[in-house]
A and B are shown apart, each in its own frame.
Chain A
Amino acid sequence: MATDQKNNHSKTPFFDPMLPRSFRIVRFQQETAETFSIELKPVSGQKEFFFEPGQFNMLYVFGTGEIPISVSGDPTKPEVLIHTIRAVGNVTRSMNNLKVGDSIGVRGPFGASWPIKAAEGNDVIIVTGGIGLAPLRPVIYHMLAHREKFGKIVLLCGTRTPKDIIFHKELEKWYAGAELEVHITVDTALPSWRGNVGVVTTLIGKAHFDHSRCTAMVCGPEIMMHFTVQELQKRGVDNKNIHVSMERNMQCGIGLCGHCQIGPRIVCKDGPVFCYEEIKGVFTKREF
C-alpha cells in the first residue's frame, strides 16, 4: 500500500473513538430524489476537520443509529465537512428528514485513503458509478488544487438515468473546463438527454490517458467495479495501478467489531480503498 494510505487520526483529535462528536448541519442540499448532501460544522472543539480523500466517518442520528459514509468534501477546505448520502435504509432516511440546525454525531475519520501521492506524475483515470462519485470528489478537488503534479485527468461517471446524476453543477463546470476530461453516461434516457447512453465501461476505451502509466480509481456498486476493472485490465492497466473502494458491514469503524472482513482484510482499517493487486479475485469469489 502507498504510504499515504494510513489512518489519519493524528490531525483531528478525538479521545474515545467510540464516542461521537456533535456536529450541526449548516447546509442541506437535495441532490436527486434519493440523494442529499449535508454540510457540517462542529458544535465545539477543533473547528477544522482534516481527512484524507477516501476516508469515512461514522455518522450518528440521535437514537436511530450510525452508518459509515465517505467524506465527499474538499480536503483543502477543512472548515466545512461534507457528506453525500443515499437514503436507502432506516438511518439514512431519518437523516434525509433532518434540517439545517439539527445535530449529527461524527466519529472519524477512519480508513485508508486514495493513493494521491502515488498518482503524482501519472495520468489519472477516475471511474464512478452512481453515488460512487461522492468518495472520489475529494480526490478531484485535491488534484485541481495541485494540477501541475498530475498528468491527464479523466473522469468517467455512470449512473442509471439523467435524474440520478449528482453534483450537476460541478460536473458541468469540469466538463466545460480544460483541466480534466469528463464523460458522463446513463443506462437509459429520454431523448432530451444529449450525453452518452450505455454502461460506463464503454467509455474507458474512448478516454485519452496513458494506459501503462496511470492511476485508476474506481468506486461504485461492486458489480460495476468488477466490470470496470476488467475493462481497465483489457486496456493494459496493471492491477497495481487500479484502486477500488469496498463496502462491507461496518459498525465500529475501528477494526474491533469483526463485521467488515473480506478474508484477512478488515475494510474499515485496511480499506475501504484497496489496491486491486491486494484483493484480486475478490469480485468473483461468491459470498466472501
Chain B
Amino acid sequence: MSKQTDKIMVLEDKDLESLFDCLKSMKYKLLGPSVYHGAIIYDEIENAEDLPRGYSDQQDGGKYRLLKNETSARFDYVVGQHSWKKYLFPPEKTLFEAKRNKEGFEISETNEPLTPMAFIGVRPCELAAIGVLDRVMMEGPYQDLFYTHARKKLFMVVVNCTCPSGTCFCASMGTGPRAESGFDLALTEVVDNHQHYYLVEYGSPEGHEIFRKLPLKQASTEQMNRKHELLGSASQKMGRTLNTENLENILMLNFENPRWDMVAERCLSCGNCTLVCPTCFCINIKDTTSLDGQKAVRRREWDSCFTLDHSYISGGSIRISAMARYRQWMTHKLATWTQQYGVSGCVGCGRCITWCPVGIDITEEARAIRKIHKDKTKD
C-alpha cells in the first residue's frame, strides 16, 4: 500500500465514538457543535451522539436558518455565530486582583488550573483563524499568557467542509474547504448509498497517537477519490468570492473613497461583525474597586473598534463618524493586518455577512472599491 494511504484511513460512522473515548481517556475537555435556539453553537459535548445529526444551514447577508433533514450526516452545516476563539481567548477574564496593605498594595495573579481542551469539528477556515490568532497572541514581543498556555494543550479535530454555505468564501482566502496542515486529526465525512464513513488523516504526533488507536480501515481508491470529488465540488459551491489580488494597496489608496460613506449609511455600528469574527481580538481593560476601596480587580473584556470609545484619547475620539469606524475595521481586516502579522486577518468564514443585521457584505464592499479604483486609474 502507498504511504499516502497509510496517512489517510477510513473510520466508519458507527465507530466515531471511539474517537471520543480516546480523547476522554486522555482527560481532554470535549468541545464541539450543538444546536441551540436555532443555530449551531459550540459547547461542551460528551459523545458522538451529541453532534447535531441531520442539520444543514442556509446563510446569506443578515440571514441564518438551520434546517433539519433526514440524512445521517453529522457535519452538513458550517459555522454559526460562535467561534473557537471564546475558549482560547475568553470574552471576560480577570487579569489580577489587588489589595491594599501597609506598603501600598499587593497584586495577586488569578490563575485557574487549565483543563486541556479538544475541539471537535473545527472547520478549515476556523483552523486558519486560530493560526492567525497564534501569530497575534504568541509571536509578538509580548505574548498573551493564557492563550499560549491553552493553545499548547489544545487538540484539534478538523472537519473538512463538503457543504459550504451562502456566505462562505474560504476558497478565495486560501483557507479551505480543505485543511492542509496545522490540525491534529482531520475528518472528511462521506454519506453515500447507505455508507457513512470518514476519511481520517493525522497531522501531528499527538494526532498520530490517537490515529493509531482508532479502529481504522484501509481506504480504497474509490473512497479517496470520493474525498477529492466532494472537496473539489465544495470549492465551486462557495456562496461568495473575494478577489484578494493587490487588495491591501487598493483599500489603502482609496481611503477617502465615497463608497465608505455609502456603507456608513447602513452600518449601525452594532459591532456584531467583530463579535462573531474568529480573528478579532480587541480587548478593553477595566479596573474596578470594592465599595470600601480595599480590593481592586483588573478585568479584560472583548471590545469592538465600532465603539466611539475605542479610539478615545484625552479630549475626544479619533474616529468619530460611523464611516471612519467601519473603514477602520475593514481596512484592518483586509489590508493593514497583513503588514502587521504577515497574513490577512480574514479567513473567509462569512460570519460577518450572515450576522450583520443589515447584511453588509465585506466581499461586496471590497468589490465595489476595487471597481472604483480600476475606473479611477484607467483615466
Contact = CB atoms under 8 A, between A and B. Distances in A.
A touching B, CB within 8 angstroms: yes
Interface of A: 7, 9, 16-20, 22, 24, 43, 60, 62-66, 88-89, 102-103, 105, 247-249, 251-252, 254-259, 261, 263-264, 266, 269, 285-288
B53 interface: no
B252 A263 contact: yes
A243 B303 CA distance: 31
Contact of A62 (B142, B296, B303, B328): B296
A261 B318 CA distance: 11
A259 B282 contact: yes
Nearest to A262: B318
Contacts of A258: 281-283, 303, 305
B146 to A, nearest CB: 10
B96 A18 contact: yes
A251 B285 CA distance: 6
The 7 closest A-B pairs by CB, nearest first: A103-B104, A63-B289, A258-B282, A287-B324, A63-B296, A264-B339, A254-B142
22 contacts: A16-B109, A18-B96, A18-B145, A20-B107, A22-B103, A24-B103, A63-B293, A64-B287, A65-B287, A88-B315, A103-B103, A105-B98, A247-B313, A249-B311, A249-B318, A251-B285, A256-B144, A259-B282, A263-B331, A264-B335, A264-B339, A269-B140
A46 B106 CA distance: 17
Interface in B283-323: 283-285, 287-290, 293, 295-296, 298, 303, 305, 310-315, 318-321, 323
Contacts of A255: 140-142
B137 interface: yes
A56 to B, nearest CB: 13
The number of chain B residues touching the other chain, given as a range, is 35 or more
B315 to A, nearest CB: 8
Q: Which among A17, A251, A258 has the greatest number of chain B C-beta atoms within 10 A?
A: A258
Interface of B: 95-96, 98, 100, 103-107, 109, 136-137, 140-142, 144-145, 252, 255, 281-285, 287-290, 293, 295-296, 298, 303, 305, 310-315, 318-321, 323-324, 328, 331-332, 335-336, 339-340
Given A62-B98, A63-B289, A264-B336, A256 B106 contact: no
Nearest to B312: A249
Contacts of B95: 18-19
A287 B317 CA distance: 9
Contacts of B293: 63
A252 B286 CA distance: 11
Nearest to A43: B103
B314 A252 contact: no
Contact of A256 (B100, B283, B314): B283
A47 to B, nearest CB: 16
Contact of B289 (A18, A64, A287): A64
A105 B284 CA distance: 18
A62 B252 contact: no
A64 B293 CA distance: 10
A22 B296 CA distance: 14
Contacts of A254: 140-142
Contacts of B283: 251-252, 256-258
B321 A287 contact: yes
Contacts of B340: 264, 266
Contacts of A64: 287, 289
A247 B283 CA distance: 18
A60 B336 contact: no
Contact of B314 (A7, A89, A259, A286): A89
Nearest to B321: A287
Given A19-B109, A249-B312, A252-B283, A263 B336 contact: yes
A55 to B, nearest CB: 13
B104 to A, nearest CB: 3
Given A66-B287, A103-B103, A103-B105, A259 B144 contact: no
Contact of B137 (A18, A256, A259, A266): A256
Contacts of B313: 247-249
B318 A22 contact: no
A285 to B, nearest CB: 7
A60 B252 CA distance: 36
Contacts of B104: 22, 24, 43, 62, 102-103
B284 A22 contact: no
A261 B332 contact: yes
Contact of B107 (A105, A249, A257, A286): A105
Contacts of B311: 248-249, 259
A60 B293 CA distance: 15
Contacts of A18: 95-96, 145, 298
A285 B100 CA distance: 45
A227 to B, nearest CB: 18
Contact of A7 (B141, B318, B328): B141
Q: Which among A88, A248, A285, A286 has the greatest number of chain B C-beta atoms within 10 A?
A: A286
A96 to B, nearest CB: 14
B281 A287 contact: no
Given A254-B141, A256-B140, 4 more contacts: A66-B298, A248-B313, A256-B137, A259-B310
